[in-house]
Amino acid sequence: MQAAAAAVHRPHLLGACPGAGGAGRARRPSSTVRMALREDGPSVAIVGATGAVGQEFLRVISSRGFPYRSLRLLASERSAGKRLPFEGQEYTVQDLAAPGAFDGVDIALFSAGGGVSRAHAPAAVASGAVVVDNSSAFRMDPEVPLVIPEVNPEAMAHVRLGKGAIVANPNCSTIICLMAATPLHRHAKVVRMVVSTYQAASGAGAAAMEELKLQTQEVLAGKAPTCNIFSQQYAFNIFSHNAPIVENGYNEEEMKMVKETRKIWNDKDVKVTATCIRVPVMRAHAESVNLQFEKPLDEDTAREILRAAEGVTIIDDRASNRFPTPLEVSDKDDVAVGRIRQDLSQDDNKGLDIFVCGDQIRKGAALNAVQIAEMLLK
Amino acid sequence: MQAAAAAVHRPHLLGACPGAGGAGRARRPSSTVRMALREDGPSVAIVGATGAVGQEFLRVISSRGFPYRSLRLLASERSAGKRLPFEGQEYTVQDLAAPGAFDGVDIALFSAGGGVSRAHAPAAVASGAVVVDNSSAFRMDPEVPLVIPEVNPEAMAHVRLGKGAIVANPNCSTIICLMAATPLHRHAKVVRMVVSTYQAASGAGAAAMEELKLQTQEVLAGKAPTCNIFSQQYAFNIFSHNAPIVENGYNEEEMKMVKETRKIWNDKDVKVTATCIRVPVMRAHAESVNLQFEKPLDEDTAREILRAAEGVTIIDDRASNRFPTPLEVSDKDDVAVGRIRQDLSQDDNKGLDIFVCGDQIRKGAALNAVQIAEMLLK
């Protein structure tokens, strides 16, 4: 998995396009990376350390100077024994199912799928760790806070280091949408939201990113595309998100947006519909979001609100037709918002259309989880 | 342009994915192509014969056995003199600005941009031709019918062969959307529609398709992408549609959907908002459409209505997660509809979400224009 993730890190597959201005906060350049191994930091475990998000956990910890007294890299038995370098040290990946795997761990960052979280998070909690879980396993558990630090930090006010607990990281599409929608919601109250997504390969893991690249090469060479991760051609194509469809006809990805928004906003009445689509992009999602407000909100005020919002960058240059793109936000912390305009189909300034892009692996997963962990240190 | 269009006709760039069932009506296999050159047919001119849509006009005329007494291929002075084979004959492209270019022409199919239509359609009309214009030049002219034959054939009831007139072909995104929305609108009256598009390269012409292919090759080789047609990287990226932004913050592509829907449905009150996005796909558009109805419409009834709709194919297999994709509808006549579901965010069964795909060059342009021409022969 690690090799696969590294292989797709070609500059133009993931980086900003030539001539584009810098948007969002870039990862700090390596010259300013602070060594974060220090005695007063917590003991940290990373579960799923060899996956795309696990690897990004390490990059984010390093770039933000997240302090740690010790670091334990955990993965399935299959990856145990693998050696990974990090900040000048070499770590041996350990089997997360081994007895005592979580002994002495203060914070455990999980990103190894819902099954692994369900099986092993309870053991981590029992040994006193705070689990920050990137899977969907506990998100809708009423006892588990579901947190975007810029949006609802109050939901985890009762969670303390040293007392076992789980904090859930929301779904990537929800995080990216709500980073932009929440500041507007606070001002004018969103009553209904219609979302259509443009989702990257990374949401299905490093192997999916590699499959998109391989398929594209095959198709350009006139060959049939290899379909292992997805059931259909992804290169030069888009398709309905591969999550299973539930009884009401929505897929699980869409229902996450519906349900998680209600929980994060603590608003059972907010109406959300979503259509989730995969597009052949590597690691950043885009979302077209139509908002319906209780109170009037004009687009200039909306722009001011978003300009002041933490973790949000505005890219909205109508004259030069420059707006957020997945490539431009790749490897960036901030969610980018543009195409901010009064919705013609709603009266009295009670509607807005916006277009949002965010790095799926970073703010959509690893960064948000590390930010949750940072709140535990305050 | 012709060479460029031909170069991207690799099977997996444009064709259906392996194992996918046949959806929609495919182009008739070549064994059943009827020679359409016959004495009782009209005299036909094709303006922009060397472009992507112009070439598709020829393919559609051939596959549908559209009758013609004579065929004149017209293009700019730059392409004049070029020789193009068609149905066993060779035609010399003629300069559309030459005196008498439209003499004796009964039907002129225009697809060479708004400027060419504005400059030369009046001459064609003056010489007695019915112009079917694929550009946006005359679409909002109150004297010019804007027609999707399955949707509003009545709008051109007064147009007769032998009497000069213009009939406008709607914008591709509008055609594809309304092919699916109109049958539902007839049943329950659409009061508001929120559309997000996933638009292919072909809408910007054959050179744009070629640029997407070239950029993809470059990016896979670690090179900087060539940006001639678009101002930014298209390979492994998506971006807001390149049409100019108008004063209200919408781009012209989006405003076409807003205004053309009102004209085609002859309903000044229907509320439409759209966000138009380009995705790295060759020749078919997709659209996520949220519908709000005046009267209740449950999803089973909607499915029945769409099943009976002319020019519409349903692909909506929830169990196997199989829904319309741009690849699957490429080179097909029908628009495909799926993800048909009751919108959770609207009460009383007054909302539906659907996902629509259609071939941009075919039903979005050439096929619709030839269907309009066919109506003149009835």
Q: Residues B283, B200: contact at Cβ < 8 Å? A: yes
Res A32: pLDDT: 43
- Catalytic site residue from B120, B172, B185, B241: B172
- d(CA A374, CA A364) in angstroms, rounded, equals 16
Looking at residue B348, its amino acid is D
Regions in chain A scoring below 50 on pLDDT: 1-11, 15-33
Res A37: pLDDT: 77
Interface check for A32 against chain B (CB to CB < 8 A): the answer is no
Q: What is the pLDDT of residues B95-129, one digit of tens each?
A: 999 999 999 999 999 999 999 999 999 999 999 99
Cβ contact, residue pair A198, B194, below 8 Å: no
For the question of residue A285 being annotated catalytic, the response is: yes
Q: What is the pLDDT of residues A300-337, one digit of tens each?
A: 999 999 999 999 999 999 999 999 999 999 999 999 99
A-interface mutation test, from B234, B239, B276, B347, most A Cβ less than 10 A away: B239
Terminal CA-CA length for chain A: 34
For the question of residue A177 being annotated catalytic, the response is: no
Q: What is the mean pLDDT of residues B349-366?
A: 97
Res A65: pLDDT: 95
Chain A residues 275-334 within an 8 A CB cutoff of chain B = 275, 277, 279-282, 286, 288, 290, 299, 318-321, 323, 325-327
Cβ contact, residue pair A249, B299, below 8 Å: yes
Residues in A closer than 8 angstroms to B340, CB to CB, are 249
Cβ contact, residue pair B339, A17, below 8 Å: no
Three-state DSSP class for A126? Answer: helix
Q: What is the pLDDT of residues B125-164, one digit of tens each?
A: 999 999 999 999 999 999 999 999 999 999 999 999 999 9
- The backbone torsions φ and ψ at residue B221, rounded to the nearest 5 degrees and listed phi first, read -90, 5
State the DSSP string of A248-301: TS-BHHHHHHHHHHHHHHT-TT-EEEEE-EE-S-SSEEEEEEEEEESS---HHH
Interface check for B245 against chain A (CB to CB < 8 A): the answer is yes
Three-state DSSP class for B341? Answer: strand
Res B2: pLDDT: 35
Three-state DSSP class for A224? Answer: coil
The structure tokens listed for A305 are 């609100």
- The backbone torsions φ and ψ at residue A320, rounded to the nearest 5 degrees and listed phi first, read -100, 10
Complex-level ipTM: 0.92
Q: Which residue of B has its CA nearest to A225?
A: B12
Q: What is the pLDDT of residues B326-342, one digit of tens each?
A: 999 999 999 999 999 99
Instruction: Report all structural domains of chain A as residue ranges with CATH numbers, in order of start.
Output: 2-169+364-376 (3.40.50.720), 174-360 (3.30.360.10)
Please give the DSSP secondary-structure letter assigned to residue A22. Answer: P
Q: Which regions of A48-93 does DSSP assign to beta strands (E)?
A: 70-75, 83-86, 89-92
**pLDDT at residue B20 tops 60:** no
Interface check for B247 against chain A (CB to CB < 8 A): the answer is no
Q: Which residue of A has its CA nearest to B330?
A: A237
Res B9: pLDDT: 40
Residues in B closer than 8 angstroms to A273, CB to CB, are 290, 343-346, 351, 353
Cβ contact, residue pair B224, A299, below 8 Å: no
- d(CA B19, CA B22) in angstroms, rounded, equals 9
Q: Residues B6, B283: contact at Cβ < 8 Å? A: no
Q: What is the pLDDT of residues B26-49, one digit of tens each?
A: 444 444 445 577 888 999 999 999
State the DSSP string of A169-202: PPPHHHHHHHHHHHHHHHHH-EEEEEEEEEB-GG
Closest by CA position to A58, among listed A285, A365, A376, A375: A365
